[in-house]
Amino acid sequence: MNVFALDVSTSIIGLCILDNKKNILLLDHIDLKKEKDFWKKCDKARIEIVKISKKYKIDAVAIEESLSKFSRGKSSAGTLILLARFNAVISYICREILNLDPIYIGASDARRLCGIKIQQTQKCGKTAKEQTFEHMSTNDLRHIKWPRKTKSKAIIPKVKDFCYDQCDAFVIAKAFLIKNAPK
């Protein structure tokens, strides 16, 4: 069974395909930052999903569930509505192209299933996304050479933004396989 997982946002969509042995067949992203129009973002995502559907056998689709509550200082009602709308359109595109009903997995549940323990940002100074990336980069994804930002003043430049989304898509795919493993 190959699972196609997506971490959907309006700027970058993280993509991952894992086989039933958790081998990575695809770890990529769709960059939507330059597109300002909602429907053009949807069209660009559709084009990429069609390409993927022609290249890989996909047996299941797992999508990170949209945020459903406010995050302090991060998400307004308008942002949550936009993300939910975009997630729904991308879900429909996947359903239409792949003829599979998407399964939704919450980020917290996915991290828990993958054995990732998240601390409060105030305690460790890192967001949940950064903690997830750090955990996976030292475990399941340690073999990945992540591209780094070239314009950085840090001694060790940070990874490019899309790396976090790709990692999150991997976590969703892995969680799906763990959750749906034969008993």
DSSP H helices in 13-76: 38-55
Residue 122's CATH number: 3.30.420.10
Range of the domain at 38: 3-179
Mean pLDDT value of segment 53-72:
82
What's the chain's average pLDDT?
Answer: 91
Give the pair of three-digit tokens for residue 109.
């549940």
Measuring CA to CA, how many Å separate 142 from each of 25, 36, 53, 167?
16, 34, 27, 11
On whether the pTM is more than 0.75, the answer is: yes
> What band does 152 get if pLDDT is binned at 50, 70 and 90?
low
97-135 tens-digit pLDDT: 999 999 999 999 999 999 999 988 888 888 889 899 999
> What band does 183 get if pLDDT is binned at 50, 70 and 90?
low
Domains identified in the chain, total number: 1
Q: What percent of the chain has pLDDT over 90?
A: 74
Residue 104 burial class via C-beta count within 10 angstroms: exposed 0-12, middle 13-18, buried 19 and up: middle
pLDDT score, position 69: 46
